[in-house]
Amino acid sequence: MEKTCIVLVGPTASGKTALAIEIAQQFNTAIISADSRQCFKELNIGVAKPNDLQLNAVPHHFINSHSIVGNVSAADFERFALNAANNIFNNSDVAVVCGGTGLYIKAFTDGLDEIASTDITIKNEITAAYEQQGIAWLQKKVKETDPLFWEKGETSNPHRLLRALEVFMSTGISIIAQQKKIKKHRPFNIIKVGIEIDRQVLYDKINSRVDVMQADGLEEEARLLFPFKHLNALQTVGYRELFNFFEGKNNREKAFELIKQNSRHYAKRQLTWFKKDEEITWLEQSEILTYVENKLQ
């Protein structure tokens, strides 16, 4: 059999984790997580990390592999995941990649463009300014400095905004203009499959998941992480809203309502990203394992 990577995608709370484990068990293989937050060992409840039973069911890569004090980029994930896949293929013909971070999936399957090197002094200066003045300042600065990114990039993601500003101020060229979108060859077959789920069902699952997170102690976890709220790893749904609560900007009930709302918005953005990929076959969860088995025959 040709070495094959099954890439399972879908929005948050769509059931990826359980299905990926089922697929991995069927083919006696391992899972590479393509989630930009579950790799951080300090984050658990708020990122819906697989529980110990799930992690022990099959080997997982890129979960609990990094610390929040260090930055992890899509390029870092590309290197990590390709190395993990190579190791998995030493013992199995199949590997499973599972996650909802679209840029990480793209990095693994298609590769990333080589962006011109940047000035570390500039990076440190704009990071310090952002930490002092906040995202409103950062958005205004990017809009003025790099209108091309402002038009086409992720304007609500501080990490992407910082990177865009760093690249432009170092090179004088928009990061968008440096993205050639040339697909890299991978030495294995790739099957992309997405979980199709009714939008209202998904939103109900998201709301229920947040209720479970609240009962499981998300507020307590966020309080322990509050001293690190300035780190990039904590600029994410589930923690930002509670940090605002701790700072007196809203109450507890409002914080959890915002987590639900922002999680639904995030799921919508994930679907928008993935639906643009014509290589993804969209199926209901119950159909996917059979589909994969047939593809691998």
Instruction: Kindly report the pTM of this predicted structure.
Output: 0.84
pLDDT in tens, 168-216: 999 898 998 887 677 899 999 999 999 999 999 999 999 999 999 999 9
Residue 252 makes CB contacts below 8 A (sequence gap 6+) with 219, 245
pLDDT in tens, 167-181: 999 989 899 888 767
- pLDDT at residue 154 above 90? no
- pLDDT at residue 124 above 90? no
Instruction: State how far the alpha carbon of 38 is from the alpha carbons of 24, 59, 192, 236, 288, in Å.
Output: 18, 15, 21, 12, 24
Of the pLDDT bands very low, low, confident and very high (cuts 50, 70, 90), residue 132 is: confident
pLDDT in tens, 221-248: 999 999 999 898 998 999 999 999 999 9
Going by C-alpha positions, the residue among 195, 266, 157, 206 that lies closest to residue 20 is: 195
pLDDT, position 246: 98
- pLDDT at residue 113 above 90? no
User: Which uninterrupted H or E stretch holds 122?
Assistant: helix 120-145
